[in-house]
Chains A and B, each alone.
Chain A
Amino acid sequence: GAVVSQHPSRVICKSGTSVKIECRSLDFQATTMFWYRQFPKKSLMLMATSNEGSKATYEQGVEKDKFLINHASLTLSTLTVTSAHPEDSSFYICSARGLAGGIGTDTQYFGPGTRLTVL
């Protein structure tokens, strides 16, 4: 149990375009999903926390107008990188935590990540 998927796994786009990344909890309901970014040889950095049906909470230094997060249901959150630039090229990983009392509540379960390359 507690499987999280991400789509796409890899995306290459031109500078100025927008890219949407989906994060799904496949076998559990996730009230909270998290978005991280990891640059090469660096640690994962939390970008934002999203709760189903409410606005995401962004970490300091993360532009909410650039990284749009939507958590419309208990199994889906999306991250849209708007007007992407080469410096946005990174590994984006989501994680999910399940509903209290259900599966997936003991920790965060990570998706396989999306590698974004902006040309």
Chain B
Amino acid sequence: RKEVEQDPGPFNVPEGATVAFNCTYSNSASQSFFWYRQDCRKEPKLLMSVYSSGNEDGRFTAQLNRASQYISLLIRDSKLSDSATYLCVVTPSYNTDKLIFGTGTRLQVFP
């Protein structure tokens, strides 16, 4: 089983739609959780950290469910510029410097 699993998509949504991605992780002792965004042929960029209490940044909301070992990302009012691949990332407890990436979920927002 992969350490971090994501639905690869693509998710094709119209502008203004709300879309949600889930991610599951296999190691219950995972320490930190993040969502990164990666545009085609570019480096990943940190979108937001994910906290147990949940957190929101503008149109983006992230949730963590430790009991079920999944992380979610909700994007409201999708923009064309949101089109990208969204990477779920966790760090193991034995090495919080190590980022373990999922394969990503591709989002395509159309006009």
Interface residues of A (CB under 8 A from B): 32, 34, 41-46, 49, 91, 93, 95, 97, 107-108, 110-113, 115
Q: Is B41 an interface residue, CB under 8 A from the partner?
A: yes
B46 contacts the other chain (CB 8 A): yes
Nearest opposing residue in chain B for A49, CB measure: B97
Q: Which of B42, B43, B46, B102 contacts A43 (CB 8 A)?
A: B102
Cβ of B97 and Cβ of A34 under 8 Å apart? yes
Shortest C-beta distance, A44 to chain B (Å), equals 4
| Choice from A41, A42, A108 contacting B99 with Cβ under 8 Å | A108
Query: Is there a chain A Cβ closer than 8 Å to B103's Cβ?
Result: yes
With an 8 Å Cβ cutoff, the count of chain B residues facing the other chain is 19
The reply to whether A112 and B43 form a contact with Cβ atoms under 8 Å apart is yes
B59 at the interface (CB under 8 A from A): no
- Interface residue from B8, B42, B99, B103 paired with A113 (Cβ < 8 Å): B42
Q: Flag if B97 contacts A43 (CB, 8 Å).
A: no
- On whether the beta carbons of B34 and A107 are closer than 8 Å, the reply is yes
B41 to chain A: which residues have CB within 8 Å? 91, 113, 115
